[in-house]
Amino acid sequence: MNKPLYKICGINNQKILDYLISSESNANFLGFIFYENSPRNVNNDFLRTINQTDFKDKKPVCVYVNASEEFVRETSSYFKNPLLQFHGDETNTFCKLFKKEFWKVIRFKDVNCLDKIHMYPDAAGILLENYQKGVHGGTGKSFNWQLIPKKVLKEHKIILSGGINSKNVDNAIGIDPWCIDINSGVESTEGVKEIKLIKEIFKNF
């Protein structure tokens, strides 16, 4: 079993960003959500400070839900060579318009949902999150990770998400995904990241 990469998502605070970029952090990907309905949505003031940020060896990830082409181009331009993550009904054709690596999110309702993976042949990774009707962009709840076939984990770069915290991260790692996506599991309240909780997660990587 390989040690997975990992991503902290939903960053909307300069203090948290500074810590995650520092030598103390071993996160591989840093996620920024551009979706107004999310409590972690990046506001314009924070976006302007991002423009001056040196991400060093961390890869920024811009997260979208059914955004327009113009909006994706505008917001992603604040980052140097970001990875794009699409949570909505975007097609493979749309996702590759921007000539950047992208991840496509598939909401896991049952194992049949994985048939959608073939619809995104150009995706650099497939992020699996819990299905909840009418909800895009993460539910903060886990699904039964054991239902993911070993074949899928072997043949695709699978990013595992959904309510992962210091108590269940060992179980997530045990599934042997390529990457683990952590968001609400390192928050004290909705949308508020805590360095202490991030450090607890770090101990597992």
Q: Could you report the per-residue pLDDT of 78-114, keeping only the tens digit for each?
A: 999 999 999 999 999 999 999 999 999 999 988 999 9
pLDDT score for 180: 96
116 pLDDT above the threshold of 90: yes
What mean pLDDT comes out for the span 112-128?
96
Q: What is the pLDDT of residues 145-195, one digit of tens each?
A: 999 999 999 999 999 998 899 889 999 999 999 999 999 999 999 999 999
Q: Do residues 159 and 128 lie in contact, with contact meaning Cβ atoms separated by under 8 Å?
A: yes
What pLDDT does 139 receive? 52
Query: Which pTM was predicted?
Result: 0.93
For domain 5-202, the CATH class is: alpha beta
Question: What dihedral angle (degrees, nearest 10) is formed by the CA atoms of 193, 194, 197, 202?
Answer: 80
The closest alpha carbon to 161, from 4, 1, 3, 2, belongs to 4
